[in-house]
Structure 1
Amino acid sequence: MLTKRRVLGAGAGVTAAVLVLVTGWQAGAAEEPVPDQGLYQVQGADTADARTDVTRTGVDVLGVRDGAMEVVASPAQAAALRDQGLTLSLDGDWDALLDARGGGVSRAAAADFPAGDEGYHTYDEMVAALQAAASAHPDITAVSSVGSTYEGRDIPVIKISDNAATDEDEPEVLFTCNMHAREHLTTEMCLHIVDRFTSGYGSDAGVTGAVDSKEIWVVPSQNPDGAEFDIAGGEYAGWRKNRQPNSDGTVGTDINRNFSYKWGCCDGSSTTPSAEDYRGPSAASAPEVRAVQAFVDSRVVGGVQQIKGHIDFHTFSELVLWPFGHTYDTVTEGMTQEEYDRFKSVGEEMAASNGYTPDQSSGLYITDGDINDWMWGQHKVLSYCFEMYPSGGGIDGFYPPDEDIAPQTTRNDGAVDILLANAS
Structure 2
Amino acid sequence: MRRLAVSLAALAAVAMAVAGFAPGPSAATPSADNPSYYSLKLPAGVTIADLIRDGYDISHGHGSRPTVVATPAEVDRLRDRGVVVGKTGNVYQPVIRSATDAAGTTYYGGYHTTAGHEQHNAAVTAAHPDLVKLYDIGDSWKKTKGQGGHDIQALCITKRAPGDCALDSTGKKPKFVLLSQIHAREIATGEIAYQWIDLLVTSYGTDPEITSLLGTRELWVIPIANPDGVDVVAANPAEPVLQRKNVNNSTGGCPAGDAGVDLNRNSGFQWDVQQGGPCDETYPGTKAGSEPETIAVQGLLEKIFRDTKGEVGEPAAAGTTGVFLTLHSFGNDILAPYSYTNTAAPDRAALVALGKKMGALNGFPVSTGDAGVGYFAPGATDDWLYGTRGVPSYTFEIGPDSGSGAGFFPAYTCFTKTLWPAQKPALLYAARAAATPYGQLP
From 302, 315, 324, the counterpart of 1:310? 324
Displacement, 1:276? 0.7
Displacement, 1:183? 1.2
| 1:17-416 correspondence runs (5 A) | 19-20=31-32, 23=33, 40-44=38-42, 50-64=47-61, 67-73=64-70, 79=77, 83=81, 86-89=83-86, 111=104, 114=107, 117-152=108-143, 153-163=150-160, 166-167=163-164, 168-234=171-237, 235-250=239-254, 251-264=259-272, 267=274, 269-270=275-276, 272-300=277-305, 308-330=322-344, 335-336=345-346, 339-363=347-371, 364=373, 365-392=375-402, 397-407=407-417, 408-416=419-427
- Output the CA distance in 1 between the equivalents of 2:64 and 2:47: 10
- Output the CA distance in 2 between the equivalents of 1:307 and 1:410: 26
- Output the CA distance in 2 between the equivalents of 1:414 and 1:349: 11
Are the counterparts in 2 of residues 149 and 287 from structure 1 also a CA contact under 8 Å? yes
* CA spacing shift, 1:419–1:12, aligned 2, 3 Å: farther
Task: Letter of the 1:347 partner, please give it.
Answer: G
- Output the CA distance in 2 between the equivalents of 1:288 and 1:82: 39
- Output the CA distance in 1 between the equivalents of 2:307 and 2:65: 47
From 410, 420, 434, the counterpart of 1:423? 434
- Output the CA distance in 2 between the equivalents of 1:12 and 1:409: 24
Task: Letter of the 1:155 partner, please give it.
Answer: I
Displacement, 1:67? 2.9
For these two proteins, the number of residue pairs brought into alignment is 377
Displacement, 1:210? 1.1
Question: Which consecutive unaligned segments of at least 5 residues does structure 1 have?
Answer: 1-7, 26-36, 103-108
- Give the secondary structure class of the aligned counterpart of 1:398: coil
Are the counterparts in 1 of residues 327 and 395 from structure 2 also a CA contact under 8 Å? yes
- Output the CA distance in 2 between the equivalents of 1:302 and 1:43: 42
Are the counterparts in 2 of residues 44 and 68 from structure 1 also a CA contact under 8 Å? no
* CA spacing shift, 1:90–1:397, aligned 2, 3 Å: closer
Displacement, 1:374? 0.4
Displacement, 1:228? 0.7
Displacement, 1:11? 6.2
- Output the CA distance in 2 between the equivalents of 1:80 and 1:240: 22
Are the counterparts in 2 of residues 113 and 120 from structure 1 also a CA contact under 8 Å? yes
After superposition, the CA RMSD in angstroms is 3.4
Displacement, 1:181? 0.9
- Output the CA distance in 1 between the equivalents of 2:288 and 2:202: 39
- Output the CA distance in 2 between the equivalents of 1:38 and 1:200: 40
* CA spacing shift, 1:409–1:101, aligned 2, 3 Å: closer
Task: Letter of the 1:299 partner, please give it.
Answer: I
Deviates more, 1:273-282 or 1:50-59: 50-59
The corresponding residue for 2:438 is none
Are the counterparts in 2 of residues 65 and 392 from structure 1 also a CA contact under 8 Å? no
Displacement, 1:187? 0.9
- Output the CA distance in 1 between the equivalents of 2:136 and 2:308: 23
* CA spacing shift, 1:78–1:69, aligned 2, 3 Å: farther
Are the counterparts in 2 of residues 137 and 198 from structure 1 also a CA contact under 8 Å? yes
* CA spacing shift, 1:65–1:82, aligned 2, 3 Å: farther
Deviations 1:49-84, CA, capped at 9 Å, x for gaps: 95455444432112347532221358689757864x
- Output the CA distance in 1 between the equivalents of 2:383 and 2:302: 15
* CA spacing shift, 1:383–1:119, aligned 2, 3 Å: same
- Output the CA distance in 2 between the equivalents of 1:98 and 1:187: 18
Give me the identity figure in percent. 26
TM-score, structure 2 normalization: 0.76
Question: Which consecutive unaligned segments of at least 5 residues does structure 2 have?
Answer: 1-23, 97-101, 144-149, 165-170, 310-316, 436-442
TM-score, structure 1 normalization: 0.79
Displacement, 1:414? 1.3
Deviations 1:211-266, CA, capped at 9 Å, x for gaps: 1111111000000100011111535211111011132333210110111100007x
Are the counterparts in 1 of residues 327 and 396 from structure 2 also a CA contact under 8 Å? yes
Task: Letter of the 2:250 partner, please give it.
Answer: N
- Give the secondary structure class of the aligned counterpart of 1:175: strand
Deviations 1:324-347, CA, capped at 9 Å, x for gaps: 0111111xxxx32xx111111111
* CA spacing shift, 1:233–1:366, aligned 2, 3 Å: closer
- Output the CA distance in 2 between the equivalents of 1:87 and 1:256: 29
- Give the secondary structure class of the aligned counterpart of 1:216: strand
* CA spacing shift, 1:358–1:192, aligned 2, 3 Å: same
- Output the CA distance in 2 between the equivalents of 1:233 and 1:118: 12
Are the counterparts in 2 of residues 11 and 401 from structure 1 also a CA contact under 8 Å? no
* CA spacing shift, 1:320–1:81, aligned 2, 3 Å: farther
Displacement, 1:377? 0.7
